[in-house]
């Protein structure tokens, strides 16, 4: 997941690359660092998702905006450049950064993209540069089921990549308040990122558990009582909402989205059971 080290890693990469890189080159070097160095495999603060020009990190792009706001980098449509006197880079990554800069930093934009697609073909699946792909990759399509997914413990990029790799085509957000302190999961931003990847977003806040009802329900017995009460309430009083969800999961593979990593601790597992009974579809927790 992206961390406080992310901006400093970007600074270290720019510093070793001579102070300036194209946007796409910067993103590909970050990706290659995460895949081809020991430091990157263990410590890289970013995950990646297939996008218009291969592997991309929405979190890294957010950190670039932070660096610009702080006056550490300057950006235009083509390049990212370190501002004069910028410092406080991530020294622990120096050897890994040195490797990717030496190995890939001097390659042309075309060669860098083509090589990345060749070695990591999954990340070419949404590319706008199909001319650089030797063996095209198609998105999988998951079989019909009542899918559920929690974003707890995930980065936005890892989460989106997981949806695409499993063949999902969108999410049904069943949080009563679709906001989050975790970057990328508040409603408006999540909807934007999903749509950029060709995935759908539908909000069903009426199928969530209001915050007032969740208070004091952390203990296992209290949580179980909350989930039981939720099941009775939804089954009896939320017929139109349930019909919309049932129709959606019959039509295409979409996942019921909430925050908890463990579906057994989340109301989405109860909701999935109700929807499964209406549709005859199996339940799959992602």
Question: Can you give the pLDDT at residue 90?
Answer: 83
Cβ-based neighbour number of residue 164 at 10 Å: 19
**Rounded percentage of the chain residues whose pLDDT exceeds 90:** 83
Please tell me the total number of residues recorded for the chain in this structure: 286
41-90 pLDDT, tens digit per residue, is: 999 999 999 999 999 999 999 999 999 999 999 999 899 999 988 876 88
Mean pLDDT of 168-173: 98
- Per-residue pLDDT for 247 more than 90? yes
CA distances from residue 39 to 25, 45, 66 in whole angstroms, order as listed: 20, 11, 24
Question: Can you give the pLDDT at residue 235?
Answer: 80
Question: Can you give the pLDDT at residue 227?
Answer: 86
Question: Can you give the pLDDT at residue 255?
Answer: 98
Q: What angle do CA 158, 164, 166 make, to 5 degrees?
A: 100
- Per-residue pLDDT for 2 more than 60? no
Give residue limits of the domains in the chain. 5-132, 146-285
How many whole angstroms separate alpha carbon 211 and alpha carbon 168? Answer: 28
Which CATH code for domain 146-285?
3.90.190
How many whole angstroms separate alpha carbon 1 and alpha carbon 184? Answer: 12
- Per-residue pLDDT for 1 more than 60? no
- Per-residue pLDDT for 32 more than 60? yes
**What pTM was estimated for this model as a whole?**
0.93
């Amino acid at each position: 997941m992206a961390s406080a080290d992310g901006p400093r890693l970007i600074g270290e990469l720019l510093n070793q690359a001579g102070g300036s890189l194209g946007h796409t080159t910067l993103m590909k070097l970050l990706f290659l660092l995460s895949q081809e160095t020991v430091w990157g495999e263990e410590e890289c603060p970013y995950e990646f998702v297939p996008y218009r020009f291969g592997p991309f990190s929405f979190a890294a792009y957010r950190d670039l905006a932070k660096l610009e706001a702080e006056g550490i980098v300057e950006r235009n449509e083509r390049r990212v450049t370190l501002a004069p006197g910028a410092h406080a880079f991530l020294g622990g990554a120096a050897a890994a950064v040195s490797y990717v800069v030496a190995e890939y930093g001097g390659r042309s934009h075309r060669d860098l993209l083509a090589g990345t697609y060749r070695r990591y073909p999954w990340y070419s699946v949404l590319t706008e540069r199909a001319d650089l792909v030797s063996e095209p990759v198609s998105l999988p399509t998951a079989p019909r089921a009542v899918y559920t997914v929690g974003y707890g413990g995930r980065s936005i990029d890892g989460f989106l990549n997981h949806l695409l790799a499993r063949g999902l085509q969108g999410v049904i957000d069943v949080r009563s308040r679709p906001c989050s302190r975790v970057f990328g999961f508040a409603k408006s931003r999540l909807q934007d990122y999903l749509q950029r990847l060709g995935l759908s977003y539908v909000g069903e806040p009426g199928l969530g558990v209001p915050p007032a009802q969740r208070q004091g329900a952390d203990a296992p017995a209290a949580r179980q009582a909350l989930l039981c009460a939720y099941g009775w309430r939804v089954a009896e009083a939320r017929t139109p909402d349930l019909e919309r969800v049932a129709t959606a999961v019959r039509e295409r593979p979409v996942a019921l989205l909430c925050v908890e990593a463990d579906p057994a601790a989340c109301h989405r597992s109860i909701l999935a059971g109700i929807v499964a009974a209406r549709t005859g579809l199996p339940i799959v927790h992602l």
